[in-house]
Amino acid sequence: MLLRSHIARHQLTWDSHCWLIYPPMTLAIFPLSNSSNALRMRSLQWKHWSATGATSITGTNTQTLKPLLPAYISTVDSGNLAAHLLTLRAGLLELPAKKILGAQLFNGLNDTLRILVDSADGFFPERSANPENGSTTERPRISMQFHSGYSHGMRGNAWTSWPHPPLR
């Protein structure tokens, strides 16, 4: 789920060789050698268990990348990681057919805008006084709309009132 959410949010980035960099786990997947399809992961030490042919995770010192003692093979973590990788594969294969700016982007913009409006509420006074003639002026309000171009599946598309900043 975490991987899929990050795929959806396009938080995966690629370096010039299109290797995968996965920021939340500082995970990097890249060819271990030209002669092998084996891959290596940083941070989570991905052990290639040559005797059994199995690939497993051990507890790892994140600074030195050396296995923590006593060394062990975590079958649970290995299985979890394998499942994550299968999920990652499925998510990656869906990307080319998805819009380059997905609906989730506009949902995020709407969420940020709503928080912004909420946090700004009260910052601008409802009324401003004119010191020259003593009159007061109602705070003008403007409306903002995000239209994503998506006809459905959008949580947003909301009209949001915005307190207009003081006129200068």
Binding site for another protein (CB under 8 A): 10, 14, 18-20, 29, 31, 37-39, 53-56, 78-79, 81-83, 85-86, 88-89, 92-93, 95-101, 105, 108-109, 112-113, 115-116, 119-120, 123-124, 148-149, 162, 165-166
C-alpha to C-alpha distances, 154 to 72, 95, 162, nearest whole angstrom: 47, 19, 21
Tokens standing for residue 82: 């394998």
- Least distance in angstroms from the C-beta of 1 to another protein: 16
- The C-alpha atoms of residue 130 and residue 127 are separated, in whole angstroms, by 10
Choose between 98 and 133: whose C-beta lies nearer to another protein: 98
Nearest to 22 by CA among 55, 38, 46: 46
Choose between 26 and 112: whose C-beta lies nearer to another protein: 112
- Least distance in angstroms from the C-beta of 159 to another protein: 16
- The C-alpha atoms of residue 61 and residue 45 are separated, in whole angstroms, by 9
- Least distance in angstroms from the C-beta of 36 to another protein: 10
- Least distance in angstroms from the C-beta of 130 to another protein: 18
Choose between 12 and 64: whose C-beta lies nearer to another protein: 12
Choose between 35 and 119: whose C-beta lies nearer to another protein: 119
Question: How many CB atoms sit inside 10 A of residue 90's CB?
Answer: 12
Question: How many CB atoms sit inside 10 A of residue 56's CB?
Answer: 19
